[in-house]
Amino acid sequence: MALLPLSQKIRGYLTGLVFLVGLCGPMAAWPRDSLQSFVLAAKANDASFLGRLPELGLDAQSRDSLRNNLLMLALREAGEDLALAMLSQPDWQGLQVIEHQNQLGETPLMIAAIKGLDRAVKRLVEIGAEVNRPGWTALHYAATSGSVAVIRLLGEHSAYVDAMSPNNTTPLMMASRFNHRPAAAELIQLGADPTITNQAGLNARDYAKEQGNRDLAFWLELEEISFTNRYLKRLPNLRPDATLSDVVEQSGGEVVTVRPTQREPSSGADGLATDRLPQVAPAQGVEVVPGIR
């Protein structure tokens, strides 16, 4: 075999190295460029971009650096039409896609909720996305952004209105924290409990106060009173001649007659006899009337 001059060897080595860089370099950068193209399409809400995914090497298993799948990226950029186009195809309807969690533990439904994308929320729920889950939920996210339409939609699909985050924060607290009174009103309409406190000892009204929203704080205080005394809402239906016993019974209570024990002289200076009621151990976890323990 003939020996090549050193200069030719170096030239040949560099040629091979350039070929390898040309082969490997674009391949390493290609996914990133493809994701960037997808994000731009999502920002433009271009549903037709779905047809380009195969040529870009993207599919339902593609992820970004924060483990968001393409569906989540489309929703995060408010590309609702693109997301709906994806969800219309079987490859994007599996639980491994619609229940996928990114590094923050978020799901596509949660992202759609915080963006207020009610059509996407509706479609995700229809194909099996979980509405209720431990910790932060889609309802928390909808309350954070103040999306009444999404809150109402999730409520129609049995969202737990008093769902608690890891520190026991409820959706109503999030709505109050971000000054969303219409969202708070919708949550109250769904039965949210305004008296709940989280691990920081704060309730929804406290968050409204923190934000300096006196109107919201005052309204929430009235809702607390109404919620605590919600059993009274049934009392206007009483007959005009209703007795006190009727009121107690209709409110869900029970009339109990306690008979006094035998009279004994009191130790008081007046020397009058007194009645002593029998000692009764307090009931554990029993409502005297609904809402009052």
For the cut 80, the answer to whether the pLDDT of residue 118 exceeds it is: yes
Query: Look-up: residue for tokens 């479609």?
Result: 123
Measured CA distances, 79 to 49, 66, 244, 253, 261 (Å): 11, 19, 61, 54, 76
Q: Please tell me the pTM assigned to this model.
A: 0.70
117 and 197 fall within a common domain: no
* SS3 of residue 274 by DSSP: strand
* Rounded distance between C-alpha atoms, residue 275 and residue 270, angstroms: 15
**What pLDDT digit, counting tens, does each position of 172-227 carry?**
999 999 999 999 999 999 999 999 999 999 999 999 999 999 999 999 999 998 88
Judge whether 204 lies within some domain: yes
Counted domains in the chain: 2
Domain match, 111 and 174 both: no
Tell me whether residue 258 is in a domain: no
Would 111 be classed as within a structural domain?
Answer: yes
Q: What is the pLDDT of residues 216-266, one digit of tens each?
A: 999 999 999 888 877 555 555 666 676 767 766 766 666 666 555 555 554
Average pLDDT, the chain: 81
Label residue 28 by pLDDT band (50, 70, 90). very low
What is the pLDDT, as a whole number, of residue 226? 85
Domain edge (last residue) among 112, 130, 148 = 130
Residue 24's identity, in one-letter code, is C
Region 10-23 average pLDDT: 36
Shared domain check, 140 and 206 = yes
For 211-270, the DSSP string reads TT-HHHHHHHHHHHHHHHTGGGGGGGGS-TT--HHHHHHHTT-----------EE-SSTT
Amino acid at 48: S
Last residue of some domain: 102, 130, 158?
130
Q: Which residue range forms the structural domain that includes residue 115?
A: 32-130
What is 42-105 written as a DSSP string? Answer: HHTT-GGGGGGHHHHT--TT-B-TT--BHHHHHHHTT-HHHHHHHHTSGGG-SHHHHT---TT-
HSE at residue 117, side-chain half, CA atoms within 13 A, is: 26
Residue 20 lies in a domain: no
- Domain endpoint, select from 101, 130, 159: 130
Assign residue 83 the CATH number of its domain: 1.25.40.20
Q: Is residue 251 situated within a structural domain?
A: no
Q: How many angstroms from the chain centroid is the CA of residue 270? A: 64
Within-domain flag for 212: yes
